[in-house]
């Protein structure tokens, strides 16, 4: 098989969550443990950092990986989903796993894969762990796919666990309340391993503290340690000024840092990432101030990170963002409503399992919408989306494909207008691949 055939094989032979949804979810770690044993427990051959959270974990993972790379560590990075190419999920120092490595991994283990029938995510996690061991990385930053306690990645014992925040998403798997969801995310907390939690919340803080106490794990809340005082937007980056709230982790009372990720919500993510890096520095990681500044300033450049308030062009301004649940969309829509433009055009598509009653009130009323759907089975039908949105007073039209919707928006927009593309990671993916 060539690379294209190999990826097609993985999609067709294994249950894939982003395509079929709930049927691909397995509520145990049995397969992950069996796969780990089969491959010789590769994750034990390097240090790891484990991340979970409803939103922000991708940004935080990329910031941490970029900084570790800048500090001289050979750094693996495992994230999901990908936008365009499967290989985006597995990187070392910003370089994607080679096509031939993917081909070899599948060909050499095809008989075992077909006998065992793991999920797409289970085998992808095993591939990442195997590849990082093969390439002798110093450390790997590992992002959970869904939840935490039963996530395929939760076989590792990391140097540090990080939980960014908690919001409502995938409630059919994780629970219908914030404390239940927090319990699932808290499942990545390991005995005697420190955990950084990005935000305090009245419904989740006690859950994390109880789990950390049970595991005898030091727990640090990032917002108790560092505060972002200001964020100055500049072309292609943001300049932050911080105040230290914890002199043990941040000795300087005031300091600044530049981040090449845009989006107002990065204000919270950078606080979580900096706190995690400070904890690592207090352990055995050598992360100097110069490496820290370089890692932050080049987070996207070092890792190839895309899709988070990504400005695709100017005049008219076209922005895409992968925020796709209520918690993430609330932050993105707030920033969108603050944009200075004559007219706002919105290319909108959602996954079929999203709660429109919660999402529609967040959407700007003054936009003209192109209701569409990504080319995956899980996508909500554009007709269904349009009917409910228009019933709520939004205006727009139905367009069959993302590509056609974007073209229509560009045709309608003048130089002082803005086009936003979002609602689903897969809608953004179809635009960024063109």
Q: List, for residues 265-306, the tens digit of each pLDDT value.
A: 999 999 999 999 999 999 989 999 999 999 999 999 999 999
Q: How confident is the prediction for the chain on average, in pLDDT? A: 92
What is the chain's percent helix, strand, coil content, to nearest 5? 45, 20, 35
Range of the domain at 345: 310-432
Which of these three, 258, 285, 303, is where a domain ends?
303
Q: Are residues 317 and 203 in the same domain?
A: no
Q: Are residues 219 and 257 in the same domain?
A: yes
Lowest mean pLDDT among 135-149, 171-185, 264-278, 352-366: 171-185
- CATH number for 21: 3.40.1190.10
pLDDT band for 24, please (50, 70, 90 cuts): very low
Beta strands 90-92 and 75-78: pairing type?
antiparallel
Q: Are residues 284 and 411 in the same domain?
A: no
Q: Are residues 100 and 115 in the same domain?
A: yes
The H helix count followed by the E strand count for the chain is 17, 17
pLDDT band for 19, please (50, 70, 90 cuts): very low
pLDDT at position 175:
63
Q: Are residues 248 and 127 in the same domain?
A: yes
Q: Are residues 333 and 211 in the same domain?
A: no
Helix or strand (DSSP H, E) at 371: strand 368-371
Phi, psi (degrees; rounded to nearest 5) at 205:
-55, -45
Beta strands 160-163 and 47-52: pairing type?
parallel
pLDDT at position 376:
87
SS3 313: strand
Q: Are residues 244 and 155 in the same domain?
A: yes
- CATH number for 373: 3.90.190.20
Nearest Cα to Cα of residue 348 among 326, 310, 320, 327: 320
pLDDT at position 21:
46
The sheet carrying 95-96 orders its strands as 95-96, 90-92, 75-78, 139-143, 47-52, 160-163, 195-197, 219-221
pLDDT at position 20:
42
Helix or strand (DSSP H, E) at 334: helix 326-337
pLDDT at 32 over 90: yes
Q: Are residues 17 and 34 in the same domain?
A: yes
CB 397 within 8 A of CB 370: yes
- Tell me the C-alpha distance between 147 and 54, whole Å: 8
Domains of the chain: total: 2
- Tell me the C-alpha distance between 325 and 246, whole Å: 32
Token pair in block for residue 36: 């780990």
Extended strands (E) in 269-331: 310-313, 317-321
**Average pLDDT, stretch 358-364?**
96
Q: In terms of pTM, does the model score above 0.85?
A: yes
pLDDT at position 127:
98
Q: Are residues 240 and 323 in the same domain?
A: no
Phi, psi (degrees; rounded to nearest 5) at 133:
-70, -40
């Amino acid at each position: 098989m060539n690379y294209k055939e190999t990826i097609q094989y993985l999609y067709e032979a294994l249950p894939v969550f982003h395509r079929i949804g709930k049927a691909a979810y397995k509520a145990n770690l049995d397969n992950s443990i069996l796969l780990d044993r089969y491959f010789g427990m590769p994750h034990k051959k390097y240090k790891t950092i484990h991340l979970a959270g409803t939103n922000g974990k991708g940004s935080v993972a990329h910031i941490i990986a970029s900084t570790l790379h800048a500090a001289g560590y050979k750094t693996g990075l495992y994230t999901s989903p990908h936008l365009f190419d499967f290989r985006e999920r597995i990187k070392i120092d910003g370089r994607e796993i080679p096509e031939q490595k993917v081909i070899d991994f599948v060909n050499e283990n095809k008989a075992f894969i077909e006998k065992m029938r793991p999920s797409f995510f289970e085998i992808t996690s095993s591939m990442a762990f195997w590849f990082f061991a093969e390439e002798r990385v110093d450390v790997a930053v590992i992002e959970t796919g869904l939840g935490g306690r039963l996530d395929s990645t939760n076989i590792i014992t990391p140097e540090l666990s990080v939980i960014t925040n908690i919001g409502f998403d995938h409630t059919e798997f994780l629970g219908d309340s914030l404390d239940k969801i927090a319990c699932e995310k808290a499942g990545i907390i390991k005995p005697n391993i420190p955990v950084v939690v990005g935000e305090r919340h009245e419904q989740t803080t006690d859950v994390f503290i109880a789990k950390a106490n049970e595991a005898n794990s030091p727990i640090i809340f990032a917002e108790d340690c560092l505060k972002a005082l200001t964020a100055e937007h500049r072309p292609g980056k943001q300049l932050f000024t911080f105040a230290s709230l914890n002199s043990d982790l941040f000795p300087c009372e005031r300091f600044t840092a530049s981040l090449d990720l845009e989006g107002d919500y990065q204000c919270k993510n950078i606080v979580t990432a900096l706190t995690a890096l400070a904890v690592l520095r207090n352990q055995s990681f050598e992360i100097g101030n110069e490496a820290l500044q370089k890692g932050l300033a080049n987070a996207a450049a070092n890792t190839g990170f895309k899709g988070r308030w990504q400005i695709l062009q100017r005049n008219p301004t076209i922005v895409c963002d992968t925020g796709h649940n209520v918690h993430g969309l609330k932050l993105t829509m707030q920033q969108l409503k603050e944009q200075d433009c004559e007219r706002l055009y919105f290319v909108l598509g959602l996954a079929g399992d999203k709660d429109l009653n919660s999402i529609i009130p967040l959407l700007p009323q003054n936009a003209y919408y192109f209701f569409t759907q990504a080319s995956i089975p899980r996508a909500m039908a554009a007709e269904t989306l349009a009917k409910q949105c228009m019933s709520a007073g939004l205006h727009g039209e139905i367009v069959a494909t993302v590509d056609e919707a974007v073209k229509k928006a560009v045709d309608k927009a003048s130089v002082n207008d803005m086009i936003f593309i979002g609602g689903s990671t897969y809608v953004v993916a179809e635009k960024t691949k063109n």
